[in-house]
Copies of this chain bind each other. A is one copy, B any other.
Amino acid sequence: MARTRQTETAVLGALSVMPMTGYAVREAIRDVLGHFWSESFGQIYPALSALERQGHVDREGKERTGSSVFVITPSGEGRLRELLAAPIQPAPPRNGLLLRLFFGRQLGPEVCQSLLENAKADAERRLTEFKAIRNQIAADEATTADHLYWLLTVSAGEHGARSVISWAEESIATLLEQTPLPVDAHE
């Protein structure tokens, strides 16, 4: 029960920005919410059907054309506000990198260092992505009333990425202290 609501929230949220096809909802969730949210493909169409049955969205142009555009109804907007106001259900944490580092003695310092290097590189990649997103939102600034809130989530991503980078750098240094370089005389 508790979990299907989450899909409902994401789908209604997407439609609250603009009407679109189910296919476009999926793309929006993947490409726009992707940095902090995910829904799997197979959930979206059933969720849309359920929302239609409940009168929270209308399906326009359904006849014979195949593709149809979903539009949020006033009741759907009420439902969305209700869902957004509900208590946040914290997702159980599952950080594979930290799991590996916690048992890092099994892997040895060198492997752990390379895990950290990868994490740092990933975070740097994300940081440049966020920069691009920021520019894009700024470009649309005039046309959307949502940009202020969108920037908040971009900023969260940036802070998170920077914290990963500084943590990784510190941790690599700590591990290096622990593994004195093999004293090779060359040079």
Contacts and interface: CB of A to CB of B under 8 A. Distances in A.
B37 A106 contact: no
A35 interface: yes
A51 interface: no
B152 A13 contact: no
Nearest to A105: B146
Nearest to A93: B36
Given A105-B149, A163-B162, A174-B148, A156 B99 contact: no
The CB with the most chain B CB atoms within 10 A, among A9, A84, A160, A166, is that of: A84
A77 interface: yes
A183 interface: no
B92 A38 contact: yes
A81 B105 CA distance: 10
Interface string A90-125: 111111111111111111000110010000000000
